[in-house]
Structure 1
Amino acid sequence: MNFYYHPNPEENTTLSQEESAHLVKVLRAKTGDEIAIMDGMGKSYLAKIIEANPRKCSFEVIDIKAAKTKTYRTHIAIAPTKNMDRLEWFVEKSCELGANEISLIQTQRTERKKVNLERLEKKAISAMKQSKNFWKCKINALTKFDSFISNQLNVENKFAAYVETGFEDLLQKKIKPESNVLILIGPEGDFSPEEIDQLKSSNFELVSLGDHVLRTETAGIAAVHTVNLVNQRL
């Protein structure tokens, strides 16, 4: 069964115009049909269509279920790529893999100075529905590197992927299972020497994602997947 997104289906029992149009016009849903809804905050809903209106499809909630809460959170802070398509791909795949939060950071070598948050939000919602992950990934607006780092001083388990020396420990060796982690991914060309010094002084651990030099968006995906693997129960 396909899921539809609604942030507050218990109080507002009408789907958005976009979701209504897809449900009624594309899928030909009718009054009385049952649909599945997720609120992006860990709950899923079974609902019955009251009025199959393609502009504002109304429904009645029949049943509510709460998904199991994860024992860890993954926060990826990444320098947006010059190519917007690559950034959207990263957001989509990271959300499918269960990233909880994505922050966009403007470093000295970041080429893209503006991002379309609305498009990234749509990618996050689409990925949540497709993967049946009942928590919507939070997407934070583009923030300057200095400002972001200064706001993370009290955060534990924070890492920065770095490829310069070749002596950094692998990320999977540093992550503790069932712990919240923050991982920074730099731009093409990596962090500047000044930024590396700032990361060290702010107690970020420099880590490696493997032997190969990865594109920014690929490194972000690898980091999310690594956190998942460390926390996988056999």
Structure 2
Amino acid sequence: MALHFVTDDAAAARPGDDIALTGAEAHHAAAVRRVRVDEAVTLGDGRGVWLEGVVTAATPKQVDVRVTGRTEVPASAPRIVLVQALAKGDRDELAVQAATELGVDAIVPWQAARSVSRWDAKAEKGLARWRTIVREAAKQAHRAWIPPVEGVARTADLVARAGTSQVLVLEPLASDRLSAVAAEPSDGRDVVLVVGPEGGIAPEELAALADAGARLVRLGDTVLRTSTAGAAAISVLSAASGRW
């Protein structure tokens, strides 16, 4: 499979144009992946532009690509949005990485009541870390769109979102199965998956979300970790909606 790179220069490029990759992208391509002259590669801007090209020069400081083809990939609609509760260790980061590879369209970090990890004084650092993970995972998966990582949400923000989106809260004790809900006809609204932290979603949070119109759903008869629940749910939705 051809290597894929992301650069803002891809946005306006057309067949016949030359694009120069520099900095970390060039170093990764030439020094790590050992890209060679005449090798076919793909490039994108992370916002739907997809280019095919051929390497014309390669050094650790600069890799030149001649564009041979251009496609514009439309954004998915309705979107699948993952609301991922902050978790200890790297569990939330693993969740974000997997969700991106599986095709999620946007990610929202959630400071849940039971989140052990707290971003109160380091939100910008945490957001930057998640955005880097998402960018690299999108490149690895050869995605034309890089999912945006929104600002840190509180439970009140999720309650407000339930008025405009189809909010599905993953709860092991819920009576409705996600597979059954996913098979229902789409109403065109974004589907927002809410995944709680290690200790689960607090009862008061579940009640507030349900009262606002969110639906509590379960994946099956087992309880998944916060690092895997979102990925499993995205897979169910992708299969049911015809994305896969």
Residues 4 and 78 from structure 1, CA distance in 2 versus in 1: closer, same or farther, beyond 3 angstroms?
A: same
Paired AA for residue 208 in structure 1: R
The residue that corresponds to 1:3 in the other structure is 4
**8 Å CA contact retained: 2:11, 2:49:** no
> How many correspondences in the alignment?
230
The residue that corresponds to 2:79 in the other structure is 73
The residue that corresponds to 2:89 in the other structure is 83
Q: What is the CA-CA distance between 1:154 and the residue it aligns to?
A: 3.0
2:68 is equivalent to residue 62 of structure 1: yes
Residues 124 and 24 from structure 1, CA distance in 2 versus in 1: closer, same or farther, beyond 3 angstroms?
A: same
Paired AA for residue 169 in structure 2: A
CA distance in 2, matches of 1:70, 1:11: 21
CA distance in 2, matches of 1:170, 1:17: 47
2:21 is equivalent to residue 15 of structure 1: yes
Task: Compute the TM-score of the two structures, normalised by the length of structure 1.
Answer: 0.85
CA distance in 1, matches of 2:162, 2:170: 18
**8 Å CA contact retained: 2:11, 2:44:** no
Paired AA for residue 55 in structure 1: K
Q: What is the CA-CA distance between 1:105 and the residue it aligns to?
A: 0.5
The residue that corresponds to 2:97 in the other structure is 92
2:189 is equivalent to residue 192 of structure 1: no
**8 Å CA contact retained: 1:10, 1:61:** no
The residue that corresponds to 2:165 in the other structure is 156
The residue that corresponds to 1:104 in the other structure is 109
Q: Which runs of 5+ in 2 are unaligned?
A: 14-18, 120-124
- Name which of 112, 133, 139 aligns with 2:149: 139
**8 Å CA contact retained: 2:159, 2:209:** no
2:225 is equivalent to residue 210 of structure 1: no
Residues 167 and 45 from structure 1, CA distance in 2 versus in 1: closer, same or farther, beyond 3 angstroms?
A: closer
What's the % identity of the aligned pairs? 24
Q: Aligned to 2:21, what secondary structure does the other structure show?
A: coil
Residues 223 and 28 from structure 1, CA distance in 2 versus in 1: closer, same or farther, beyond 3 angstroms?
A: closer
**8 Å CA contact retained: 2:85, 2:110:** yes
- Name which of 109, 121, 126 aligns with 1:116: 126
The residue that corresponds to 1:24 in the other structure is 30
Q: What is the CA-CA distance between 1:28 and the residue it aligns to?
A: 4.3
Q: Aligned to 1:138, what secondary structure does the other structure show?
A: coil
The residue that corresponds to 2:176 in the other structure is 169
Q: Aligned to 1:119, what secondary structure does the other structure show?
A: helix
Paired AA for residue 149 in structure 1: L
Q: Which runs of 5+ in 1 are unaligned?
A: none
Q: Aligned to 2:239, what secondary structure does the other structure show?
A: helix
The residue that corresponds to 1:223 in the other structure is 233
Residues 177 and 18 from structure 1, CA distance in 2 versus in 1: closer, same or farther, beyond 3 angstroms?
A: farther
**8 Å CA contact retained: 2:6, 2:44:** yes
Query: In the TM superposition, what whole-angstrom CA distance separates every residue of 1:38-91 from its partner, at most 9, and x where no partner exists?
Result: 22222211234565453344444332123365443210101121012x222211
CA distance in 1, matches of 2:22, 2:130: 18
